Amino acid sequence: MQFSSSSDSWSSGALSRSTIGWIAVGLLLLGVVAWVAYSYLGWVLFGLFTYYVGRPITRRLSRWISSRSLAAGLTLTFIIVPILLFIAAFLSVALGQALTFLSSDAVATVVANLPISTTGLPEDPVELVVALSQSTDVSSALGQFGVAVGAFAATLFNVFLMLLFAFFLLIEDQKLSRWFQTNVLGTDSLATDYLRRVDRGLTSVFFGYTLTIFVIIVLAAIIYSVFNFLSPANLDIPSVMLLAVVTGVFTLIPLVGRSVVYAFIVGILAIDALQINPALLWIPIVFFLLMVLVFDNVVRTYIRPYLSGKTYDMGLVMFAYLVGPALFGWYGIFMGPLVMVVVVEFIVNVLPRFANVEPEEGDSVDDEPLDHELGGGAVEYDESPDSEGGVSPS
């Protein structure tokens, strides 16, 4: 079979039969890729999130490590694996508590209420196996156990695929970007300008806001723990870690987000103070004033501009994170911000050009460095796969 190297059939006004055939093949292949991506949509989005979280760190490690694959592997190891280990540790603690419960006096009550009668079980091992195999309750339990094991194995496999996808993007993103710009989109095209802006937006949302929430969670946990250590008369904040996580998540709610959590904590402390000693009511009041006037100002003035900048309005980010899971399920926490960035960047930077209105001065990606400076200039993020830079203090 001989293929023509001429591009006349592609550039001419009339499409030849060969050109139409290749377009059909291309659409078919695109459909197959789309079907595969849709089948693993949640894990693809999880991998994309992992890529944007790990990319700035990988770029910085690449300054001292010549192997990009090694830098990407270290990034995934120290970002994703610790999260998985934390989940495993949580499950281990829960299992330990369950075993402690089973070793207590409540075992007799639990055994007495089991759906399987244990009084008439045979003592011979063979007869015991036969009796259990003939029991419908045991068969149902075994079936449910098999489903649980299958779901667990499938989840592990999907996590492995997600890590491979993120690893591939971390080591090949620059090559993919250059190839598409050179062969498909064009270096100075509107599509390239738009995708660069989307890339910067996703970096800001996925890396910047995620890191901001994590830092606030850690600081809140430290503050709550110190308060419990110094508070008199057992006037403690309950469930420190849970409330710290809620404090970080409520950062996405504009204006009153964290204040709602503070008010809830103050309410609990005030009730405890009234029961212990009404003279201790000054402690919840001082706690609320310190959190609102000191901690919140530190977050607004230093932490948020330093890490996440002001790329998008916090209200948009909040709706993206809240509406996403409601619409798409568990992976909506990644899909919501992705849809927000794609739509906002299109409306702001592409739609005006359809009306023959040029973007305002300074809005063009070509006028900005690829290492876009977020917020107050404390941290620079490598926003484009084309750049060799990383996260660097300015």
Q: How far apart are CA 101 and CA 111, in angstroms?
A: 13
**Reported confidence tier of residue 372, pLDDT bands at 50, 70, 90:** very low
- Is 0.75 topped by the overall pTM? no
- Cα separation, 202 vs 383, in Å, equals 9
- pLDDT on residue 111: 52
Spatial distance between the Cα atoms of 280 and 269, rounded to a whole number of angstroms: 9
Does 204 have pLDDT greater than 60? yes
How high is the pLDDT of residue 376?
A: 35
- pLDDT band at residue 143 using 50, 70 and 90 as cut-offs: low
- Produce one character per residue of 380-392: b if its CB has 16 or more CB atoms within 10 Å, e if not: bbbbbbbbebbbe
378 pLDDT band (50/70/90 cuts)? very low
Bigger pLDDT: 67 or 95?
Answer: 67
* Residue pLDDT, tens place only, 296-333: 888 877 777 777 666 787 778 878 888 888 888 888 88
Residue, of 136 and 12, whose pLDDT is higher: 136
Tens of pLDDT, residues 256-300: 678 888 888 888 888 888 888 888 888 888 889 988 888 888 887
Percent of the chain's residues with pLDDT above 70: 69
Helix axes 136-180, 41-61, angle to 10 degrees: 50
Q: What is the largest CA-CA distance in the chain?
A: 93
Least confident of 75-79, 108-112, 257-261, 361-365: 361-365
Statement: residue 3 has pLDDT above 80: no
More confident residue, 189 or 355: 189
Q: What pLDDT band is residue 380 in, cutting at 50, 70 and 90?
A: very low
Residue 206's pLDDT is 85
Average pLDDT over residues 44-59: 88
What is the model's pLDDT at position 384?
A: 52
b (16+ CB within 10 A) / e for 113-135: eeeeeeeeeeeeeeeeeeebeeb
CA–CA distance, 260 with 255 (Å, rounded to integer): 10
The pLDDT-based confidence of 103 (bands split at 50, 70, 90) is low
pLDDT in tens, 218-250: 888 889 988 888 887 778 888 777 788 788 878
pLDDT at 29 over 90: yes
User: Is residue 392 over pLDDT 70?
Assistant: no
Tokens of 77: 């190891």
